[in-house]
Structures are given as C-alpha cells and as structure tokens.
Chains A and B, each alone.
Chain A
Amino acid sequence: MLLTVLKAIGALSVLGLAAASMLALAARKFHVDVDPRVEAIASALPGANCGACGNPSCFSAAEAIAAGRLPVTACTAGGKSVAQAIGALMGDDACDVVAAVSVRHCGGGTNASRAYEYGGVQSCGAVAKLAGGALVCASGCLGYGDCVRACPFGAMSLDERGLPVIDSAKCTGCGICVRECPRGQISLLELVSDAAPVVVRCNAHNKPRDRKSSCSACCIACKKCERECPADAIHVIDLLAVVDYEKCTGCGTCVEVCPQDCIDLNAGHLSVTGDGKGKSATAGEQALAGAVSGD
C-alpha cells in the first residue's frame, strides 16, 4: 500500500517539478521586454479591434503608436478622449481632434418604390449585385443592414422604415459602415463632423422628375432651402441640396421650409429651435433628439 503511495507521489511530483521549472525557465528566457508604454496605450485604446486605423488589432496599433509610426490621434474610433489619453502617455500634447460621425443620406425605406420583390440572401451586398438593387432609385438605402452588422460599436440599428438609425453618442466615426455599404462610394453614408446639426436625407443625382416617381421623400432640387437659409450654408449642387457644415449655424429653417421634408435633424443634436418635427425623422430620432434636449 505504502509503495504505491510513494511511487505515485514520486511520479506526479517529478512531473509537476518538470512542468513548473520548464515554465519558470521559459518565463525567464522568453521574457519579451514589452515596452510598458505599449501596454498602457493598448489599455487606453477602445479594444474593439475595428481596424479603422489600419492595424489588425488594438495591440498592434498600440505598438505602432509607441514606436512613433502612427500619430497619437491614429485611433479614429477613440475620438478625442482616447487621443488625449495617448497624448498624455506619449508626452506631446494631442492636437484638437475633429471627431467624426456617420450620417445617412436617404429617407427612402418604405417610401421608396421597389423594382422587384427580393427573397434571397438578406444582405445589401447581395441584393446590390442583382440589377443594382431592389429599389427603383439607384442610390437609395437597400435596408438589409450590412452596415448595422459591421458596426463594431453597436451604434446602428434598423428602424421601422428599414433605414439605419445612427446613435451619434456611440458612433466613433471609424467609417467601417461607409466601407461596408455597397452604396458607400456614392456616400449614402458619410462621415461628417459630429457637430453637424442637420442632414439632407437624399443623395440622388438623376433628374428630379424621375426621382419623384421612385421615392416620395426625395430632394426635388427646388432650391427653397438655398433661398431661405440665413447663413447661406445650403446650396443645390448637381441637382441635390448639400449642406456646408462650416457655415451652418443649425438654425433649422431649411428643415421647416423643405416641401419634401427630406432635410432633418442629425439625431442627438438640438441647437435647432424647432422641435425636430421633420416628418421623415423617425420616431427614434425624434425621441433621441427630445432626450438630448431634455424636454
């Protein structure tokens, strides 16, 4: 009886000794002298590995920043707070960062008429390959949520009209949704400064007459907003109303005056006097706008 106990103790402790000493030896010999700053920066970064800064993971981005290959403001997703934290770590004061937010230039969804019934793979990428998408309008939002799935920060969700609503509090402007959207290159989704109060909910460039037939919420280039705007911040260029965010004061006259109601609030910002009534603004956006202004 005693013999088996001794043999067992002997065998297992030899094994334990071998394993532990191997680990201790390895810990010493293979000690990777990780630059402490890299770990500090890595912990400052959001850690979503979203790839917006071009690195596969936040850890590799931290290494690049610590080595000076990337600027302190490399992490677009992190925005100002992360940039300042890294700036403090790296010693130089971080320059002021223009935080960007993604906005949707389409008010179509259920308003847009459909070219054909589509029952295939539920992804915008797939439907866009089929004769340019299921909508008559060639630049409208297809509504199958590729951008919603791609957003690493969960800032986007599809509303009842099938259009992506962007929660600018969570959106870090990493731009993945713009890349993911098959209509991204015609900037259906666009990165604008997070101070942008109003958004034109259309980005069609064909003749207004054709547009009317394809969607009831489109911009018909009537130039009313251009005439009414006190800060001369909105112009109809190439048959489409475009907002110049440097001059725009966010007074909201264009929102009220537009006959098609296709200019409305960029959710979460209410320097606009109006109650953010824009008909095409979704319930979500209004609720959000209301919540932000605290009324």
Chain B
Amino acid sequence: MKSSPLRLIIPVVLTCIAAAASLAATYTITEPLIVAQEKAAEEAALKSVLPDAVTFEATDATVLGAAQEAAGESKVDAVYRALDADGQTLGWGLKVGSRGYSGLVKMVWGLDRDGKVLDLTILSMNETPGLGTRIKTEPAFLDQYKALPSAFAEKDVKALDMISGATKSSRSVRDSAVAVSAVFDAVLKTAGEVR
C-alpha cells in the first residue's frame, strides 16, 4: 500500500471518537428518561395487581436470590414488598417469567400477606395470536388462579384446568403459579412479619 498505514488508521479512529462522544452525550440525556419510563411501567403493573398498596419497595438481593432459588425453572425478575399508607407490609408483588409456546410469558402476581392471590396480569407474551393469546383473552382461565386458597400449594395449582388447544401457553401460567407458591413458602412467609 503506497500510502502510509497511518493515513488509513487516523480517519477511522477519529470517526470512532466522534461517534462515541455523540452517543455518550445522547445516552446521558436519555438514560434518566429510560429508567423513569421503566420504573413507571413497573409501578403501573404492580398497582394494577395490588390496588390498595401505596408504595412498593424492592426487596433486597438476598430475598430475590432466595426467591429465584425456590422458583426453579421459571425466572423471578423482581419481588416487591407492597406497603399501605402507614408503611405496614400489605402484601407482595412478584414479577415472574416462564417459558410459553414461543418465548417468554412475563406475569405479575399480587399476593396479600398470607399468600392469597389478590390479582394477576400477563405483562408480555409472544404466543401465537388467536391460540396462545387465549390465556389472556379468556378471563375465566385467569380467574381460576384468583380463586386459589391462601398459601396455595402445587397440588392446588395442578387441579386447575387448562385451555384445550393452548396447552403450552396455559402451562406457562401454571409454572408461574407453582413458582409463586414455592417462593411464598420458602421466602415470603417468614419475611412477611410486621416491619
């Protein structure tokens, strides 16, 4: 190459520096907004599940670690302690992801202090439209889980029926429920005492 290698390397490095600088700048501007957006979304989901809770406090890492341990196959993304107006533990919000027909089904569970399911919603899923999505569009299916007794065990969950034609998707909801019950027994029951 007749031209000295430097003549080739300098422009590339300069472009990289310029690009990195501009991107870092935009990131620092947008980053707080992104975090705020995510927090707001999380808050909204938890609110919808634990209506009368006022604030949500993310539990510390050990609790989350123990919860993940107990959950086994499913993935516990977050465990929140729901507090009422004067700071008493009202119940728990759990974000659980389990494997559905094609990808991850993310759900949010609201439990009261003694493990009764207050409400649950499906945050995001990628099931086949029209088939897998029936776990969300048919309320009867989810209502069963609301009817679960407090501190329900795995056998109660197994007793609930599934949607025919969407076995894989409904099994993801069941796995999620089993994980929630396991986490509650192992971690939350003891940690539920008045702060």
Contact = CB atoms under 8 A, between A and B. Distances in A.
Nearest to A4: B24
B27 A20 contact: no
B62 interface: no
A27 B6 CA distance: 13
B190 interface: no
Interface stretch (A10-18, A111-119, A176-184, A216-224): A10-18
Contacts, number: 58
A1 interface: yes
Given A5-B24, A9-B24, A20 B8 contact: yes
Interface stretch (B12-20, B78-86, B160-168, B178-186): B12-20
Contact of B20 (A13, A23, A31): A13
A206 B73 CA distance: 80
A20 B20 contact: no
Contacts of A5: 20-21, 24-25, 28
Nearest to A7: B24
A4 B20 CA distance: 10
B159 interface: no
Contacts of B19: 12
B20 A11 contact: yes
A8 B19 CA distance: 9
B34 interface: no
B1 A8 contact: no
Contacts of B21: 5, 8-9
Contact of A20 (B9, B17, B25): B9
Contact of A28 (B5, B15, B17): B5
B34 to A, nearest CB: 14
A13 B8 contact: no
B28 A16 contact: no
A9 B19 CA distance: 8
Interface in A31-72: 31
B23 interface: yes
B5 A13 contact: no
A122 interface: no
A21 B24 contact: no
Interface residues of A, number: 22
Given A23-B8, A28-B5, A8 B20 contact: yes
A24 interface: yes
Contacts of B1: 24, 27-28, 31
Contact of B16 (A1, A7, A15, A27): A15
A16 B13 contact: yes
B5 A24 contact: yes
A277 to B, nearest CB: 65
B174 to A, nearest CB: 43
B15 A16 contact: yes
Contacts of A19: 12
Contacts of B17: 9, 12-13, 16
Interface of A: 1, 4-5, 7-13, 15-17, 19-21, 23-25, 27-28, 31
Given A12-B19, A24-B8, A28-B5, 13 more contacts: A4-B28, A7-B24, A8-B20, A8-B21, A8-B23, A9-B20, A9-B24, A12-B16, A12-B17, A16-B15, A16-B17, A17-B9, A17-B12
27 contacts: A4-B24, A5-B20, A5-B21, A5-B24, A5-B25, A7-B24, A8-B20, A8-B23, A9-B20, A9-B21, A9-B24, A11-B20, A12-B16, A13-B17, A16-B15, A16-B16, A17-B16, A19-B12, A20-B9, A20-B13, A21-B5, A21-B9, A24-B1, A24-B8, A27-B1, A27-B8, A28-B1
